[in-house]
Structure 1
Amino acid sequence: MIIEVIGTRLKDVKEAELFGADRVELCQSMSEDGLTPNYGLIKLAVESVGIPINVMVRPHNDSFVYDSDDLKVMCEDIRVIRKIGADGIVIGPLTNEGAIDEDVLQALLNEANGLEVTFHRAFDFVKDQKEAIATILKYKQITTILTAGGNGLATEFMTNLAGLVEHTKDTHLTIMPGHGLRMEDLAEFYQVVKPNALHFGTGVRVGHTFANGISKDQMKLIRGLLM
């Protein structure tokens, strides 16, 4: 079981490792659902902990549709992220029609050579999830799909998430449920969905807000349940 935790500050990254997280998704601007963090944070995060750091590459919150200028920015970000020494990136380009934009995706993967890749919750906005999985399966570099199972909280889509986990069980892809997961929902969620990885944001924060740090107590309870 992989427990991934969102980190938005250096303090978060250190606490995530200290309290038992297996990996950090590093991003900033959670009021905009997470954007590319600044290079200083990426560098110090990588230097400060031993657990993997996967960096969000998302230049804006307008949509998951990216034009040529957006692509240039994202490719430059990936070059810097790779040079700094992060372990992976988190991306998710879509077309206006709600499909995966393979042209943009391929360009980003070319820059990400050697990095682990997660396809983020843009997946929850595709028109056809099975078609999207078939597309993602063509790219061996993408190892994880972060998804709530739909446009809402992960607890609202448990049956669908269980189906996605089953659908990908014999592939190189891991379905990593996330969005709104909390300890009080976790026992039922884990029993129904049977995931191999889980993604936590405010659910492991003191007071369930990104304004506060990561809760040692919540992390202990979660690890105790899952491990």
Structure 2
Amino acid sequence: MILEVITTCMEDAIVAEASGADRLELITAFTEGGLTPGIGLVEQAAKTVNIPVFAMVRPHSRSFVYSRHDLLTMASEIRAIAASGAAGVVLGALTPEGAIDERALDTLLPLTEGLQVTFHRAFDELSDQLAGLRTLSRYPQITRVLTSAGPGAVMEHVEGMRELAEESSRLGRPRILAGGGMKAEGIERFIAGAGVKEVHFGTDIRFGGEALAPIDPSALRALSDRLHRIGANEQGQ
């Protein structure tokens, strides 16, 4: 099991690695769903921690529909992140009609050479997620999709998540990263039902469950240990 943790500063990054995170999603503006962090933070995190750092590429929180100027901004951000030593980027784009914006992907993905790419929760605004997954599978640069498999909290959509995980397995890519209101409580039952191999945590492993609070090392370590046990049990079956 892979545990990805949202981080917003160097303290988060250091604590997350020390407490059992397998990968970091580095953002700013947590309460807006995450925006592109400063390149100085990306560079510092990439050279300080030994686990993969994925940086958000999202120029604003108005929508996932981007203008030409937005795409130029995102292109500049991707180039800077690629030079920073980070392992990946997190991005997504939709058309005004609510479909995946393939023209935006055709503009941005060639710039991600050497980086892994996560398509973020813009995916959850699609009316047909299985069709969206098939579209994204045509882009080898996109290694995973962060999704709650429906509106609201991810743990309410076990059946939808299993459908996506099974389709991902059939297609061969991208992998499914389950996230969006993920909770440690009931995580074993969720993973068994959803069939996912990667999970994404944000507020639940922070003090008081607050987005702007620091990461709680004890909560994160306990979660990491539980996920490792789940992984060990699956391998033993």
Task: Give TM-score scaled by structure 2 length.
Answer: 0.93
- Provide the C-alpha distance between the structure 2 equivalents of 1:162 and 1:33, rounded to a whole number of angstroms: 24
Structure-2 residue corresponding to 1:153:
153
**Large movers: runs of 4+ above 6 Å:** none
Query: Can you list the C-alpha shifts for 1:167-202, whole angstroms capped at 9, x where unaligned?
Result: 111413210110111111312211211211000000
- Provide the C-alpha distance between the structure 1 equivalents of 2:5 and 2:181, rounded to a whole number of angstroms: 12
Instruction: Give runs of aligned pairs for residues 28-177 of structure 1, distance below 5 A.
Output: 28-170=28-170, 171-177=172-178
Query: Can you list the C-alpha shifts for 1:113-159, whole angstroms capped at 9, x where unaligned?
Result: 11100000000001211111111000011010000011211011111
Using the aligned pairs only, state the percent identity: 41
Task: Give TM-score scaled by structure 1 length.
Answer: 0.97
Count of aligned pairs: 227
Q: CA deviation at 1:211?
A: 2.2
Q: CA deviation at 1:224?
A: 2.3
- Provide the C-alpha distance between the structure 1 equivalents of 2:174 and 2:73, rounded to a whole number of angstroms: 27
Q: Is the 8 A contact 2:146 2:177 kept in 1?
A: yes
Q: CA deviation at 1:212?
A: 1.8
SS of equivalent residue, structure 1 residue 69: helix
SS of equivalent residue, structure 2 residue 219: helix
Structure-2 residue corresponding to 1:181:
182
Q: CA deviation at 1:42?
A: 0.7
Structure 1 residue identity aligned to 2:61: N
SS of equivalent residue, structure 2 residue 61: coil
Structure 1 residue identity aligned to 2:177: M
- Provide the C-alpha distance between the structure 1 equivalents of 2:84 and 2:227, rounded to a whole number of angstroms: 32
Q: Which moved more, 1:25-34 or 1:206-215?
A: 206-215
SS of equivalent residue, structure 2 residue 6: strand
Q: CA deviation at 1:226?
A: 1.6
**Unaligned segments of structure 2, at least 5 residues:** 229-237
- Provide the C-alpha distance between the structure 1 equivalents of 2:156 and 2:101, rounded to a whole number of angstroms: 27
- Provide the C-alpha distance between the structure 1 equivalents of 2:60 and 2:138, rounded to a whole number of angstroms: 27
